[in-house]
Chain A
Amino acid sequence: MSRVITITSGKGGVGKTTSTANLGAALAMQGLKVAVVDADIGLRNLDVVMGLENRIVYDLVDVVEGRCRLRQALIKDKHFPDLCLLPAAQTRDKDAVTADDMIALTNQLRAEFDYVLIDSPAGIEAGFRNAIAGADEVLIVTTPEVAAVRDADRIIGLVEAFEKGHPRLIINRLKPRMVSRGEMMSIDDVLQILAIDLIGVVPDDEQIVTSTNRGEVAVLDRSSRAGRAFVEIARRLAGEDVPITVFDDNPGLLNRIFGAFGIRPRGSER
């Protein structure tokens, strides 16, 4: 049984595309067949995050409008042969596809893949509604900031109104040190406010910037804390019972001393 999962957030810039690319790669690392779909028509991004921008011939709108077959538009990932990208059109807008088109498209993808991950555009309009139309489940990405959590709350309500079940939450760009100083909302603060199940916590990690610069996903880099967090989330998504780890920021003095002796604390459990 294949699963179609939409990654959305309401607010822009909280890490939907990065999450989609990394979860897609992490699921493919488990040997699963995965398609990632860029549903942000007109603002194509997932291709550059994955470093596949030079290989695009056809896009999602070409498939929907019958200019090519689905297989012609799918781009194989550089590292994982079982991971494919369906890019968004760059020169069209969200009105180029309908919710019914997206349902038909996801059904076609179900026949070929174990997982279909859809990267939703920001906002609550047609683009978002198209992105969740064919989904079985929804993941919501937020950061521990007032504006992002407010938008996440709005999106949770909409996802439930569209009868997509109970979405699960990814808290992205958490800075554990700031949380411990009382300068950033904690995981519990966010969960209490949103009353939603947590699927994972991704720490703020500068390596995301450098890996994105190169068009590589962070899960390929075993030293990336964000990458490790995404690997864990993918395992949870696939049904494994993995306790949630909060991978810590820059090592503190104690960790550095332990590190000098070759002992590397992995992070603290929630």
Chain B
Amino acid sequence: MGFLDTLFGKRERSSDIARDRLLTVLVHDRVKLTPDMMEQLKADLSAVIARYVPSVDAGAIEVTLLRGESVDHLKADIPLRRTPQKL
């Protein structure tokens, strides 16, 4: 890991990587959502949303746990397929 790499942005500083990994690990430790439960959560979410928005792309839903200053966040990114408009 050279100074030049950092300068030209080739590689992220390993201390930043450590901090980010820790933040993710800790929030998962605390919230206790297993990968299985996360998958189930995604499936349930897409089922509910599909009732209102049929174009939801169930396979592409991303749910992430984020650590915030005072509260943690469960963030869902729910992509919708663009269907050709009917005239």
Contacts and interface: CB of A to CB of B under 8 A. Distances in A.
Genuine A/B complex: yes
B71 to A, nearest CB: 13
A149 B22 contact: yes
Nearest to A179: B15
Contacts of A181: 3
A186 B13 CA distance: 12
B25 interface: yes
Interface string B19-58: 1011101100100000000000000000000000000000
B21 A146 contact: yes
B13 A183 contact: yes
Contacts of B22: 146, 149-150, 185, 193
B4 to A, nearest CB: 12
A193 B23 contact: yes
A184 interface: yes
B25 A150 contact: yes
A137 interface: no
A153 interface: yes
A154 interface: yes
B26 A182 contact: no
Nearest to A182: B13
A146 B6 CA distance: 21
Contacts of A185: 15, 18-19, 22
Nearest to B1: A183
Nearest to B70: A195
Contacts of A149: 22
A233 to B, nearest CB: 24
Contacts of B1: 183
Nearest to B6: A182
A183 B29 contact: no
10 contacts: A146-B25, A149-B22, A150-B25, A150-B26, A153-B26, A154-B29, A183-B15, A185-B19, A193-B19, A193-B23
Interface of A: 145-146, 149-150, 153-154, 179, 181-186, 189, 193
Nearest 8 pairs between A and B by C-beta? A182-B13, A182-B15, A189-B19, A185-B15, A146-B18, A185-B18, A146-B22, A183-B14
Given A150-B25, A154-B29, A184-B14, 6 more contacts: A182-B13, A182-B14, A183-B14, A185-B15, A185-B18, A185-B22
